[in-house]
Structure formats: structure tokens, C-alpha cells
Amino acid sequence: MTLASKKILLVISGGIAAYKALDLIRRFRERGASVRVVMTRSATEFVTPLSAGALAGEPAWTDLFDAKTEFDVGHIRLARECDLVVVAPATANLMAKMAGGHADDLASTVLLATDRPVLIAPAMNPVMWGAKATRRNVAQLVADGIAMVGPNAGEMAERNEAGVGRMAEPLEIVAAAERLLAAGDPTSRPLAGKTLLVTSGPTHEPIDPVRYIANRSSGKQGHAIAAAAAAAGAAVTLISGPVTLADPPGVTVVHVESARDMLAAAEAALPVDAAVFAAAVADWRVATAGAQKIKKGAAGTPQLALVENPDILKTIATRTPGRPRLVVGFAAETENVLANARDKLARKGCDWIVANDVSADSGIAGGVMGGDRNSVHLVTTDGVDSWPVQSKDAVARALVARIAAALKDPA
């Protein structure tokens, strides 16, 4: 689902995050959407109508009682002549108005008058976000069918303040808008009738009953891929190593511990149309795990004999018969990312490799491993497609779209 030719009404309310709304306008327009902007009076204290209007390509609307526009009930036209209403940032005050049905300025009147889908991106101080009144308002808005993206956790504008309350980033809001519009689009389930296998998270290879070998994987990317595939209509089996994430809705989840467990579960899930191996599987395991906890002693440091774990990606990619039509592997690299990914593509026998830089120099705040953002390269025999830094959810949706396109073509 793209935003090409879609009409977006963007309501900007008065918070410090209003400056991000200017980038949001640009993001919508570069995807082919047209944008009209409504600003609250307090929003104009943070960004100017001139700036918003220049980016949108038409004047921003600010006044409910503007004689130049209200002669034909302009606020009703604004409310109806759009495909989607986005409120970013959505302040605690404007959310309270929406929950209570107030209409005392242009923004709140348009929001009450619209019959289009509404997406809000809350932004406020963490204490305000956690306040009982805000929680009641959020519950009411959700019950009323209002969609929400964010808020995120992080540093606040106020000194020494941090917590949940940051407005979602513009690309996250764009992705949420695409999902919301796709929900009513018959083409939004491009994987309907298809089956997918996804692996996610680390594996734990026991050394003794209390210690293990593992990778630094949170499972966020793999779980996001499973969720995106399910949203696209696929029947998804997710094989998850030990993670702290909730099971994605609408997905069959098999929980495993070791690489051997994961391989057995993957083989049991076949046949499938496509398989995505996003798990960070431990390459080695201890040849003989201790039956009891290994103790420090006079014998000195214990010597651990390692053996290779089964290569799950290669095993499935070279399987005959029963190979999935499309096999996608992941390559988390700390150096020579593309060269190593191309080598892995050839060695494993898979169709695509999703490669990323997980080194400390990756340029992604907080790092990729365990973080919420990612920047990947899709490596195929045809070449390399490098994607920008974006949320792991956005990466998942983009990858699922490519999978859907590949499965749509004749085998």
C-alpha cells in the first residue's frame, strides 16, 4: 500500500515536537500524497504557518472563523476532502478535547466533523502521558476507533527528563498511515493464501545447567517480520529462540532453545512458500554440556571443546525435495558487510541475504542488536538494494512487500 494520490489532512498541535511535523509533510509528499495542514494556535508558537504551508504546497489553515474560507463551511470540507487525518504531535490537551467531543477551534472541530480514519501521534512529558486523566482519554480514543502510533521512550526536551512521551519519528508515522489506509484496501493482503516460516531471536547452547553460549539478538526484527507477514495475509509459523517479546498476534509460534531444536522445528513446519531465517543462531555448542554447574577449582580454567551447530539456513535452502520457493537469510556483520553477504549468499544456496552492520560504528543510536532501528542491504544475485535507517517494523514491512512481489510472479 503506497500513499501515491492519497490526500492527508495533517493536524499540528502545540508541542515542541511540532518541528518534526515539517519533516513529516515532506515524507508524505515524497511518497506521492498531497497534504493539507491545520494548525492550532499554540502550534504556531513552535512552527510558523508559512513553513508548514511552503512544505505542503498550499497555505496552512489556522482559524475557525476565517471569512475567506468559512463562507462555504470550510472546516467541513477539510474534514471530508481527505483519505486520512493525522494528528502529529497530538498533545494531552488536544487528545482530551477529542475524547470529550469538544470543538472550540479549527483543529478540534475538524476532528469532530470528520468521517475519515484518524491516526494520532501523542507527544508529551512522561508524567503527563502516565497521568490518570490521559490514560482515561487514551482508552476512550481507542474505544472510539482512533489509531495511535507511539509515543516512544527517550530523552525529553526538558533537562534531565526521560521516559515514554516522545513523538514517533516521521517515518514511523508514515508507515502507520500506510498500514491504516491499507486496512481498507483489498490489495492490502498480498500474501493471502501463502505460508511463511520465520525464525527469530538467539539460540542458547548449554555449557552446564546455568551457563550457555548465545548471540546478542533481541528477536525484534524477526518478530516484526512475522507480524508484518501475518498482517499481509500469510499463514505464518514463527520459530523463536529465547526472547522477552510477546508472541505476535495471528502467528503460530514455536518456542525453542537450541540450534538443533530450531532446525527440527523448521523442518517440521515445511512445506512453506517462503522462509525467512532472521534468527541469530549460535554457530557452536559445547561438545558435552556439564550435568552439574562447573565449579572453579584447583584444576584451573576448564577447557570447553566446541562443535559446529547445524547450518539451518543452508539445510533448508539446499533441501530437495521440499525447498521453499523463496529462502531469505540474514547476515549481521561487523566488517566488510556487502562482501561477506555476497559470500554467504553463494555458500548457503539461498535466494536473498538481508545484510546489516551491527558494529559499534554502524551509526545507529543504541546499536542494531537489541535496538529498535535498522539499516539493511538486500543482497541478491541481481545486485544490492540499500535501505535507509528506519524502524525494524518498517524494515519488516518493506521486506514482506518484496516477498509478496516475488511470490506473485510465476514460479
Would you tell me how many other CB atoms lie within 10 Å of the CB of residue 336?
11
The CATH class of 189-408 is: alpha beta
Q: Tell me if 40 sits within 8 A of 89, measured CB to CB.
A: no
Portions of the chain given CATH number 3.40.50.1950: 7-182
Alpha carbon 168 to its chain's center = 11
Among 223, 263, 264, smallest CA distance to 240 is for 223
Residues with active-site annotation: 215
25 is in an annotated binding site: no
pLDDT value at position 405? 92
392 is in an annotated binding site: no
Place of cell 555458500: 347
CA distance 28 to 20: 13
How far, in Å, are 148, 190, 191, 228, 410 from residue 405 at the CA level? 28, 8, 9, 14, 10
pLDDT value at position 71? 47
330 is in an annotated binding site: yes
293 is in an annotated binding site: yes
Backbone angles phi, psi at 122, to 5 degrees: -60, 150
pLDDT in tens, 303-357: 889 999 999 999 999 998 889 999 999 998 888 899 999 999 999 999 999 998 8
**CATH, domain 7-182, list 3.40.50.300, 3.30.450.20, 3.40.50.1950, 3.40.50.1820:** 3.40.50.1950
343 is in an annotated binding site: no
Portions of the chain given CATH number 3.40.50.10300: 189-408
Mark the ranges of the chain whose per-residue pLDDT is less than 70.
1-2, 66-75, 156-159, 183-188, 298-299, 360-370, 409-411
66 is in an annotated binding site: no
For residue 305, give the amino acid letter: A
pLDDT in tens, 164-189: 788 888 988 888 888 788 766 655 67
Among 320, 315, 314, smallest CA distance to 343 is for 314
8 is in an annotated binding site: no
